[in-house]
A and B are shown apart, each in its own frame.
Chain A
């Protein structure tokens, strides 16, 4: 009667899906981020903008929304329209072709707005430093409120940094 054991029957209903991992709250937050979190009050909408990235950071952003990392449980959402957003999430060095659209998108976000620089390229152009198509870092063009280093940063470290902005 081995094939009728309790484990066999209950095993049908067992959830084999991977569980969401816990992501820590950032240990220290800058005063600017703290002010933004008071404004956002538990809900953060961001417009993601690729200013010339190699798409490595984009893959990490895509896995943020997977069941493992589940960024939505902290009230963080990526939106389609900059008008619905609280800020920009910018990846990559700012290329000459994208600096105009970047400024236009920034202008389209309602004030007060936050700018998040994601990945080493957004911080200091990374391996693309000095390339002919690159205009500069994100900090040269817009005031940056939150920097997330890494090439590319892990989804967990992106979520940790964003949790400081949303305040939960």
Chain B
């Protein structure tokens, strides 16, 4: 049971392609589910892909006084997400180049900070407002994610995501310990906050004053906007896949071979679709939280993850 360099490379490539194509489809599916529950027909599931394809051919406009940061930010967002997808175990544990939990959290942070910097770079009022709000939420959400993952690393005795995953696969009794359940709750709140979904942010809003994430990308057009949309959807799917694989590890390929890889792909797709369906269904009945209540929710997530760490150190 060892991985050749070629199989590791091909697994990483497959993960990148799978997430890049699959993530707009997941957004389309979530939009479809939302529309159906509201009693509407809704756009086809491939609609986000159609939009990205069209945007790639549109004219790109740069604000007059923006600098290179505005140009580079979408590329940084997509690149950091692609690195994350390539190094973490999504379809197979063979892609574990160095998926340390600190590396994962900081790569996520680089992507969100680059988008916030680009919003400040445009010099518009809404861009600055969105960046300040997104950083307020992000500064509270990212530590909660880090500490929640840290709680999972204590029983496994390693900060490598793949090691955590494989050890919990062979010790299924770890999956229902208090620290797992507390970390699970914190992780889910962080996913909702980081991907800008209800109740933290409303991705379909038209009101600039209530926007958090949308306010940051108001100035993007053409291929830049396509990259930002693709990057954001890939981040959501990446976090859902990581969540699914850490808390329901069964199905992921732990040895080389195409059959294991196919099973891993199908199981990850099932986990991501299931979690996406859950989020979309819960979202329909929810209103956006008042902005000043969002830090309370984030503080709650952080407390949950600290309790997870404490219980992982004490309860055994």
Chain A positions near chain B (C-beta within 8 angstroms): 15, 17-18, 20, 39-43, 45, 67, 70, 72-75, 78-81, 83-84, 86, 108, 110-112
Contact = CB atoms under 8 A, between A and B. Distances in A.
B218 interface: yes
A108 B225 CA distance: 15
B61 A20 contact: no
A75 B207 CA distance: 21
B231 to A, nearest CB: 15
A110 B59 contact: yes
A142 B285 CA distance: 42
A66 to B, nearest CB: 8
Contacts of A108: 61
B220 A83 contact: yes
Interface string B40-60: 111110010011011001111
A83 B221 contact: yes
Contacts of B50: 41-43, 75
B214 interface: yes
Which among A78, A79, A110, A112 has the greatest number of chain B C-beta atoms within 10 A?
A: A110
A106 to B, nearest CB: 13
Interface in B20-53: 35, 38-44, 47, 50-51, 53
A45 B207 CA distance: 16
Contacts of A43: 47, 50-51, 54
Given A83-B219, A110-B59, A110-B222, A72 B51 contact: no
Contact of A84 (B43, B205, B208, B221): B221
B225 A84 contact: yes
Count class of interface residues, chain B:
20 to 34
Interface of B: 35, 38-44, 47, 50-51, 53-54, 57-61, 205-208, 211, 214, 217-222, 225
Given A41-B53, A41-B54, A83-B61, A67 B39 contact: yes
B58 A110 contact: yes
Given A43-B47, A81-B219, A110 B60 contact: yes
Contacts of A73: 35, 40-43
22 contacts: A15-B39, A17-B39, A40-B54, A43-B51, A67-B38, A67-B40, A70-B35, A70-B40, A72-B40, A75-B43, A75-B50, A79-B206, A80-B208, A80-B211, A80-B214, A81-B219, A83-B61, A84-B218, A110-B58, A110-B61, A110-B222, A112-B59
Given A41-B54, A43-B47, A18 B59 contact: no
A111 B47 contact: no
Contacts of A45: 51
B47 A75 contact: yes
A73 B32 CA distance: 9
Which among A20, A41, A83, A111 has the greatest number of chain B C-beta atoms within 10 A?
A: A83
Contacts of A81: 217-219
Nearest to B224: A83
B222 A20 contact: no
A36 to B, nearest CB: 12
Contacts of B40: 20, 67, 70, 72-73
A81 B40 CA distance: 25
B2 to A, nearest CB: 47
